[in-house]
């Protein structure tokens, strides 16, 4: 399997104490960039939906990545000639019903959205990806990785920039094999994202490794600390859940004396740095950051490899990873200064900012190709009819309505056909990251 082509030890120290501000909505622009300054170009809007936190996963740190992309798109007239591109932002709280509410907020309020970027995590993306097809909106997600989303029948106009999360199971498996562990525990949260990964891991353990496992399962509405885990005698645990639930689990572990080096936890690669210290008020897990760090200090995660040598490779649009990072930190810094408040660490410094940057660019390219298609008389007449334009009026993208099934078909084809060299780190390897 290509995905395990590397196994490299990478040692770092736990960031000792990250002081975090209270949960807050933060200084996020509701519409970006402001629409008063478009030089006579016609504004188009995409819906951006990310998770600001809630009781679960937080992805709003990807936002500056989207802003950097929009700044570029709007400053470079050849990308989308005649138009400017903006987002309207709502919050999904990484929660199914909030995501649906967000969906209808976006749809029932003007302006009309010509695309959807979101919705901030897999459980929030799933219902919106089912809905966008009914309003003829093409959707690109840059944070979700649930294998369930790979269902073209259910999610007709949906794309995602991340590969499915299930391959991380190969990372877990290779770590377990590398250390010769003979018995492990798997604790799975009841979301498709985690269930699918655990299923792959269980198959690998059984078929390839003959490694014994014990499994526990909890629904998202339940409390992981309510299940009895630590009297099982298992010493190695694979943790397939959101980090907020992992904090609760680690707190229980701490209280139960389940501590490294005797006991070890393997966590997903996408938890943010310092995740155990994140401030959350919605779940009372009653442990301090230091107590959680005592458990987390030796946790092991298979990580997507980042290759430092691509720092200076020029990606499209003429940007290097190094330049992107510097723009990203500048955006974070200016929000910090203007608003004079400390942003939560994990609000920013978000690994998927790259992917969301590229999702936005992908949209701009697909929109431009669709605009180009509309020079064709037949297509233009069809689109004009679908959106109910008066007889004889030429259709432009500004006339898009949720009845334009012809437009979304074009968008879909172009999204499918877009490829460019991005700055996002990708490639095949997971490596072992010990924090």
Ligand X SMILES: *[C@@H]1O[C@H](CO)[C@@H](O)[C@H](O)[C@H]1NC(C)=O
User: Binding residues for ligand X, per CB under 6 A?
Assistant: 34, 36-37, 42, 78-79, 81, 222-223, 226, 286, 318, 368, 372, 389, 396, 398-399, 413, 417
Instruction: Give the residue with the Cβ less far from ligand X, 158 or 430.
Output: 158
Which of 73/117 has CB closer to ligand X? 73
Residue nearest to ligand X (CB): 223
CA distance 430 to 326: 25
Q: Which is nearer to ligand X, 78 or 337 (CB)?
A: 78
Return the number of the residue (86 or 202) whose C-beta is nearest ligand X: 86
**Both tokens of residue 108?**
């029932």
Phi-psi region of 318 (alpha: psi -120 to 50; beta: other; left: phi over 0): left
Pick between residue 105 and residue 223 the one whose CB is nearest to ligand X. 223
Report the nearest approach of ligand X to the CB of residue 148 (Å): 24
User: Which string of b and e fits 73-100 if b means at least 16 CB within 10 Å?
Assistant: bbeeeebbeebbbbbbbbbbbbbbebbb
The Cα-based distances of 92 to 14, 31, 151, 217, 352 in angstroms read 30, 16, 22, 25, 16
- The 3-state DSSP class for residue 384 equals helix
CB-based contact 113:120 (threshold 8 Å): no
Question: CA angle at residue 161 from 155 to 162, to 5 degrees?
Answer: 95
Rounded to whole angstroms, what are the CA distances from 330 to 11, 60, 95, 333, 355?
A: 28, 16, 30, 5, 18
What angle is formed at CA 228 by the lines to CA 225 and CA 233, rounded to 5 degrees?
A: 120
Smallest separation (angstroms) from ligand X to the CB of 292? 12
Decide whether 206 or 417 has the Cβ nearer to ligand X: 417
Least separation in angstroms between CB 93 and ligand X: 18
Residue 57 has φ and ψ, to the nearest 5°, of: -75, 145
**Min. distance of Cβ 431 from ligand X in angstroms?**
31
Shorter beta-carbon distance to ligand X: residue 73 or 176:
73
Place of tokens 């740095």: 273
Backbone phi, then psi, for 221, in 5-degree steps?
A: -75, -15
Are 277 and 246 in contact, with CB atoms under 8 Å apart? Answer: no
Q: What is the nearest approach in angstroms of ligand X to the Cβ of residue 279? A: 17
Closer Cβ to ligand X, 229 or 236, answer by number: 229
Q: What is the closest distance, in whole angstroms, from the C-beta atom of residue 227 to ligand X in the complex?
A: 9
Q: How far is the CB of 316 from ligand X (least distance, A)?
A: 9
In whole angstroms, how close is the CB of 156 to ligand X at the nearest point?
17
Which is nearer to ligand X, 3 or 46 (by Cβ)? 46
CB of 139 to ligand X, least distance (A): 18
Rounded to 5 degrees, φ, ψ at 350 are: -110, 125
């Amino acid at each position: 399997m290509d995905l395990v082509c590397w196994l490299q030890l990478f040692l770092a120290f736990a960031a000792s104490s990250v002081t975090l501000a209270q949960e807050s909505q933060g200084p996020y622009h509701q519409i970006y960039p402001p629409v008063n300054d478009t030089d006579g170009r016609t504004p188009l809007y995409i819906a951006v939906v990310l998770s600001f936190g809630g009781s679960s996963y937080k992805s709003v740190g990807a936002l500056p990545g989207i802003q950097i992309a929009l700044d570029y798109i709007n400053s470079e007239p050849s990308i989308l000639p005649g138009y400017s591109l903006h987002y309207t932002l709502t919050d999904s709280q990484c929660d199914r019903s909030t995501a649906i509410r967000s969906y209808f907020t976006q749809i029932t309020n003007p302006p009309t959205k010509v695309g959807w970027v979101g919705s901030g995590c897999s459980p929030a993306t799933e219902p919106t990806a089912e809905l966008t097809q009914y309003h003829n909106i093409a959707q690109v997600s840059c944070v979700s990785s649930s294998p369930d989303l790979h269902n073209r029948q259910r999610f007709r106009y949906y794309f995602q920039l991340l590969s499915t999360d299930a391959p991380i199971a190969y990372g877990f498996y290779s770590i377990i094999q590398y250390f010769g562990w003979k018995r492990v525990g798997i604790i799975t949260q009841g979301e498709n994202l985690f269930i699918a990964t655990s299923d792959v891991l269980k198959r690998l353990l059984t078929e390839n490794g003959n490694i014994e496992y014990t499994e526990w399962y909890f629904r998202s509405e339940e409390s992981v600390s309510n299940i009895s885990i630590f009297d099982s005698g298992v010493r190695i645990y694979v943790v397939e859940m959101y980090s907020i639930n992992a904090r609760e689990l680690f707190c229980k572990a701490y209280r139960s004396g389940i501590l490294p080096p005797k006991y070890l936890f393997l966590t997903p690669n996408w938890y943010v740095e310092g995740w155990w210290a994140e401030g959350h008020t919605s779940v009372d897990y009653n442990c301090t950051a230091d107590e959680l760090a005592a458990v987390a200090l030796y946790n092991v995660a298979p990580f997507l490899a980042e290759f430092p040598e691509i720092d200076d490779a020029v990606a499209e649009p003429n940007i290097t990873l190094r330049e992107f990072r510097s723009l990203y930190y500048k955006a974070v810094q200016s929000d910090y200064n203007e608003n004079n408040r400390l942003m939560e660490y994990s609000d920013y410094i978000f690994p998927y900012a790259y992917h969301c940057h590229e999702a936005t660019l992908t949209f701009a390219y697909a929109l431009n190709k669709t605009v180009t298609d509309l020079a064709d008389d037949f297509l233009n007449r069809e689109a004009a009819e679908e959106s109910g334009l008066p007889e004889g009026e030429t259709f432009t993208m500004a006339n898009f309505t949720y009845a334009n099934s012809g437009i979304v078909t074009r968008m879909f084809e172009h999204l499918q056909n877009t490829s460019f060299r991005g700055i996002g780190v990708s490639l095949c390897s997971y490596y072992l990251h010990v924090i």
